[in-house]
Structure 1
Amino acid sequence: MNKLFTCVALLMLGVGTSFAQMGQTPGAPVTLPMLFPTPQSIELGKGAMVLGRSTTLIIAPGTETGTVDLVRAALRLAGVKTITTAQKLPSVTDGIYVVIGTVKSAAVNDALKQSGTAIDNHTEGYTITSIAKGNGGIITLAGHDADGLFHAVQTLRQLVQRSVIPALVIQDHPAMPIRGTIEGFYGAPWTMENRSKHLDFLAGVKANTYVYSPKDDPYARDRWREDYPKNTLAELGKLVATAQRNHINFVYAVSPGPTVCFSDPAELKLIERKFEALRSIGVHNFYVALDDIEYTKWNCDKDKAAFGEPGAEAAGVAQAKFLNAVQASLNAHDPKAQPLIMVPTEYYDAKESPYKASLRKHLDPKIVVQWTGTDVVPPAIATTDAQAATKAFGRKTLLWDNYPVNDYAQTTGRLLLAPYTRREAGLAEGLSGILSNPMNQEAASRPAVTGVVAFAWNDKAYDANRTWHFSARELAGGDQRTTAALLTFFDTQHIAPTFGNQPWQEQAPRLKATLDAVREAIAGGDAATRKQAIANLVKCADDLAAASDVIRSGVVDPAFAQEARPWLDALQLWGRALQLTAAGLNAADQSSPAAIRYFATAKKLAAEAAAIQSIKGATRFDGPIKIADGVLDTFVADAPKLIAVE
């Protein structure tokens, strides 16, 4: 994420003025910065400022070294050459001062008083003020707590990407207490490097939770009773340390459901032993997954004796008793532990049932219940759905949103890159949080996950498209050409499937609008309109054909291009096919027989593109790559019939 500052830093190296209003062109308007996630409140003050070459930090006692290091890095990448420290603000402001700390600090409160601002007092909340004063100015980063201060630095990172920083006040805090991802997909799990990068990414978008729950980790599921090998536990320990540095709650999930004997005390002891081993590497947040199992049979005779014949109601009682014992153990052994999280066997709707009624009646109210919405992959989630889930489970639920996960048959050959949408503003009042289930491709999951976390931070001010564009800029390191190429690519992967036949987001809406306009212009019969539409098509085809090379050379993290390799290969071929299709239409419009040759070559390239396969083993289902399917392929096939060639 820090590489994003590079371009901005180079632009600002020549700025030598102090942090003062004279850094702005006289009469130039002061503009409101666009920040993500959208802050709860942001108001412009009077004037604007430019960062100069020197800054003084006033660091409140107890401020984490890592947080201070991030501030230093942000300032250096913004062109600040000299960073000194002081104990307090001077009586006369003679330069640029950046005050960092929590509300407990006298220096922070003094700085806020000078700007006439009170601290945001919500958990994980923060306040940022910037004021021009004397011959310099003051930027204050004030956290309600250490987490809030860390989030403030992420906002500063975005602010200093502008050459001109306006005087402003930001009051901000998350709408939902839990925001992040659950690595809960089937198929190839992420590598430790993937996970470490993902935690760095989550920090940048103000997430606070990562659940380790890969279905293919045998020690978390099939062999859950066994201890982790020492080397694996050590690797997990490094990951936990990365999470802690990034203010991310690392949650470890165990999935004993397929084999557990709920009534056997020995099973609880095994869970306790596993959790104790993980506690030794710094894990204090735990999760028991009971999804994707049957409750029509018991795994042991003891459960039949304890709970009677197998069934939905009996399963609810058995699971509740077992989970309550796990929660009691956490209470007894780990004062740092957060409430246990569980995913129920009926996780996919909010309909009343004997199982949910049993769970609601017997489950410790402290335990957090996760739920995927109105379906396994819901097309939309409304506030009324969350209310129904609260009623069904007897508590606010934690939404497990199965987007952009691509481990089911309908996603074969797809990356899911559409913006996160069709979740109703106001859900923060009915949910305890949202966790996205990402794709097997970590870097490619970031555009969608950025939207999920931004929605969870401020659902009422969330804008899907603007956040989508921000995610592209982040991947592009701020480069405009790469950002445009990524958005072109994202559009060809816009479809969002469900478990049924109807997707919940359409495919390639931007490309379809262009191609539909060409069809309409040709059908209309006006020569000038037709000529312009074909010229627009040429530009569109050129953009498609060029996008892959631009992305490969321009993305900040090469992992994105590596994960998307077959899609980028196919996109390039489809772009060339569309270029030839446009040439064919242009030739046909001029009654040239060359149109036949252009269309034939386009058809051949389209067939080559359609034959490209996904990376074997990278996802649960292998298959042919899909690029704007139903839109681009249909147009290339139909084009020879749009204008008669004599």
Structure 2
Amino acid sequence: MFRRTATYYDARQGLITTPSKQPVFFVDLLLLMLSDLMGLFVETIVPRTGPVFLFAFCLGCSTSATKPHDAMGEDFGTEFSQDDGATEQLDTSQNFCSLASATVGQTIRVLPNPRLVIAVGEEVPILTIRGSGTSSQEEQEIREIAQEKGLTVSDDAQLVVAMMDESDFDTVTKRCGFHVKKVAGAYYLKIESTDGKSVTANIAGLDPEGRFYALKTLKQLIKDRKVRQALIVDYPETPMRGVLEGFYGKPWQEQDRLSILKVFSDLKFNVYAYAPKDDQRTNLLWKIPFTEQDKAFFTKIGAEAKRNRLRFCFEIRPVLFLKFSQKEDFDAMMDKIRTLHDCNVDCIILAFDDADKMFYDEDMEVYSTYVEGLADFMNRLGTEVLRLFPDMMLAYGPRDYYLFAPDINTDLAYMGQNLDKIWEVAWTGNEIVSKTITANDVEAFEAIVHRVPILADNFPVVEDPRDSGIINLAPITGRAKEVPSLIKGFIMNPMPLPFSSLLGLATGADFAWNPEAYNEETSLDTAAALFGDETGTRGLVTMSKTNRTKPLWDEPAPELLKAITDFFLAYETASYHGEMAVLKSQFEDFRDLTLAVTPQHLLPSLANELAPWASAQSEMGGLGLVVLDLLDRLANGKDVGAIEIHTLKDRLQSIEKTGIKPTIGVMPDFFERSMEYICSKITCE
């Protein structure tokens, strides 16, 4: 036995490998290689009789994997049901198992990173696309792919997306030797052309979710009206993956929220939770019935979530005015949940985070402690909700939602013992915002709550950047690779700027899906490429590398800080030109941000949100180049004029007045240190 790092094509490194590094048995590889050789032998020497040809392309499979299409045995196909009741034969002359045309040296980047991705040929130009054996929702997805990629849906299509039966997933993966977990969302996708003109994308999903995710992967492999030929076998590590809009501050704009749900679906998220702390409909006003306008608002979100295969969670945070023993409060909560169900909500979160214990007199007469009353109320509520709505998911956001919380070993331990298992429990790690989360941390929390937890990670959330001036564009880090397999869900809390949150959220999606292959900077590069062209991608990566926040990241701009430190150390020795060149290159990248971070090069909503930071960082880059020139001239005994210093100071003050803080303190510290040195050599006043 050996590891796949020497076996399959790794899109990250251009090697034949699999990033998951899961073991593959040598016999699997031999079967695949022999399959390819037999296919060549049969097609060139042996007459194409049915049984022999079947063996050639499905070595290791039984003949029951396919059905004869022609009585003479000239062709083989598998029947697939269509919406109109007709059936269509899928051309299985393609070898579903074959690695014969695997292409080493090509880079295929998909996010989340697939378990197995192999380039099996060059890009093929396409103008048209259609589905075969597809459901109505899959047909809609194909139409959206066509619209986004500039293609036309046509019966005589160059790219045919052929959906196989769910039973065929086992046939293809098991008998082709692909090791895959049978979990929701697993899929097989092979995109291949036999003539360089027509292309078939064969898809087998373990379930409808898997078929849907295969289409999302296919979309990423179409660019500039060309499709990549590839074989992909994939599945998620964490069952639930998504976003909880749960920050303090102004909730997202309605249209922004509706638009970004589609992006969440593209990232293979399957949960969206509405939980803005400053929307009082979820908090203080939880007892107040929704208006018709409210119902329409939430129904629209629910419909869009459903269209994008996202579970729509709604957080109710009854931190005030909830009396556990009072029937009217129980009835008010049930009325609210009934209304939410009618609005397409299929997940209720009852949250008590960041709140005091409100133990009312009426409850004290019935219960000995606050948590006794809470557990009783939630158990009765959960039972009634599931009686009415069996498919509703229930989750609990406790007051003690992090491992080092003061009352976790008393209050939460009681809830863990007494709260019915129908309730999931959410948790943020060791701290409110956790720098690191390990397998031991998960196991410690699980021991307290007596169930597998949902990780509600407070990332990439920060205080509203429009108020603080600080934006977090970092990839996720500090979470052990074992964590996704130990949790029920991985749910992230974004920033009040929805589209600016996408870089961090995308890397989180990557981590939760395939943690073994996760690399922060590689994931960042792939994520950035999803939201822009080459120019826009470079700009996004530049901004991400220089706008990172604590506690996950110790420094906001690690590479920039090192370049600045190296430059000043070298400057003191008068041998600094190499270090200055490195720093100058970074400043030039900053200067060019206003040319890169634009709607022409990026997702327009993302470019518009980032514009203030791109503008300020661009100005910092230009001023950085000016400062380097001044320092170089001083080191070489050349004059520096007072007017130059005055102009420099004015421009620095202008940036400061905006309140925007790209690089947080790194560039301001560079300017301060540089000015101190310059003004020690010349009169700056």
Normalising TM by the smaller chain, what interval? 0.7 to 0.9
Which residue type is aligned with residue 186 of structure 2? G
Which residue, out of 524, 529, 541, partners 1:487? 541
Q: Percent identity?
A: 23
Which residue type is aligned with residue 301 of structure 1? D
Q: Distance in 1 between matches of 2:427 and 2:174?
A: 44
Alignment pair present for 1:100 and 2:163: yes
Q: Distance in 1 between matches of 2:494 and 2:608?
A: 17
Q: Distance in 2 between matches of 1:78 and 1:566?
A: 30
Deviation, 1:217, is 1.6
Which residue, out of 596, 607, 612, partners 2:653? 607
1:41 is aligned to 116
Q: Distance in 2 between matches of 1:81 and 1:334?
A: 41
Deviation, 1:225, is 0.4
Alignment pair present for 1:421 and 2:456: no
Which residue, out of 382, 398, 401, partners 2:454? 398
Q: Distance in 1 between matches of 2:467 and 2:526?
A: 25
**TM-score of the pair, normalised by structure 2:** 0.78
Which residue, out of 268, 274, 281, partners 2:343? 281
- Unpaired runs of at least 5, structure 1: 1-18, 21-25, 87-94, 309-313, 614-624
Which residue, out of 103, 124, 131, partners 1:57? 131
Deviation, 1:562, is 3.5
Instruction: Pick closer, same or farther for the CA change 1:365–1:113 going to 2, 3 Å.
Output: closer
Q: Distance in 2 between matches of 1:385 and 1:184?
A: 23
Q: Distance in 2 between matches of 1:410 and 1:72?
A: 37
Q: Distance in 2 between matches of 1:199 and 1:585?
A: 49
CA contact (8 A) 2:186 2:206 kept: yes
Q: Distance in 2 between matches of 1:239 and 1:406?
A: 24
Deviation, 1:332, is 0.9
**TM-score of the pair, normalised by structure 1:** 0.82
Alignment pair present for 1:244 and 2:306: yes
Instruction: Pick closer, same or farther for the CA change 1:111–1:83 going to 2, 3 Å.
Output: farther
Question: Whose RCO is larger (CA < 8 A, sep 6+)?
Answer: 1
Deviation, 1:118, is 9.4
Structure 1 residues 238-387: aligned runs within 5 Å: 238-295=300-357, 297-298=358-359, 300-308=360-368, 314-338=369-393, 340-349=394-403, 353-387=409-443
CA contact (8 A) 2:103 2:118 kept: no
Instruction: Pick closer, same or farther for the CA change 1:517–1:80 going to 2, 3 Å.
Output: same
CA contact (8 A) 2:460 2:494 kept: yes
CA contact (8 A) 1:176 1:457 kept: yes
Deviation, 1:72, is 4.2
Alignment pair present for 1:564 and 2:606: no
Which residue, out of 126, 137, 146, partners 1:66? 137
Structure 1 residues 526-537: aligned runs within 5 Å: 526=575, 530-537=576-583
Q: Distance in 1 between matches of 2:177 and 2:665?
A: 57
Secondary structure at the aligned position of 2:460 is classed as coil
Instruction: Pick closer, same or farther for the CA change 1:302–1:552 going to 2, 3 Å.
Output: same
Which residue type is aligned with residue 415 of structure 1? I
CA contact (8 A) 2:547 2:663 kept: yes
Deviation, 1:148, is 1.3
Moved more, 131-140 or 583-592: 131-140
Q: Distance in 1 between matches of 2:162 and 2:177?
A: 15
Q: Distance in 2 between matches of 1:68 and 1:611?
A: 52
2:59 is aligned to none
Instruction: Pick closer, same or farther for the CA change 1:433–1:113 going to 2, 3 Å.
Output: closer
CA contact (8 A) 1:517 1:533 kept: yes
Q: Distance in 1 between matches of 2:131 and 2:644?
A: 64
Moved more, 132-141 or 503-512: 132-141
Secondary structure at the aligned position of 1:611 is classed as helix
Instruction: Pick closer, same or farther for the CA change 1:317–1:466 going to 2, 3 Å.
Output: same
Secondary structure at the aligned position of 1:286 is classed as strand
2:665 is aligned to 630
RMSD: 3.2
2:253 is aligned to 191
Deviation by residue 1:564-620 (Cα, 9 ceiling, x = unmatched): 34323422332232122122123213312226544443333222212213xxxxxxx
Instruction: Pick closer, same or farther for the CA change 1:109–1:533 going to 2, 3 Å.
Output: closer
2:550 is aligned to 497
Secondary structure at the aligned position of 1:291 is classed as coil
Which residue type is aligned with residue 110 of structure 2? L
Which residue type is aligned with residue 592 of structure 1? K
2:223 is aligned to 161
Alignment pair present for 1:520 and 2:580: no
Alignment pair present for 1:201 and 2:201: no
Instruction: Pick closer, same or farther for the CA change 1:359–1:408 going to 2, 3 Å.
Output: farther
State the number of aligned residues. Answer: 581
CA contact (8 A) 1:573 1:608 kept: no
Which residue type is aligned with residue 433 of structure 1? G
Deviation, 1:535, is 4.1
CA contact (8 A) 2:109 2:526 kept: no
Which residue type is aligned with residue 277 of structure 1? T
Structure 1 residues 469-488: aligned runs within 5 Å: 469-476=525-532, 479-488=533-542
Alignment pair present for 1:583 and 2:638: no
CA contact (8 A) 2:424 2:453 kept: yes
Instruction: Pick closer, same or farther for the CA change 1:440–1:210 going to 2, 3 Å.
Output: same
Instruction: Pick closer, same or farther for the CA change 1:227–1:84 going to 2, 3 Å.
Output: same
Deviation, 1:255, is 0.7
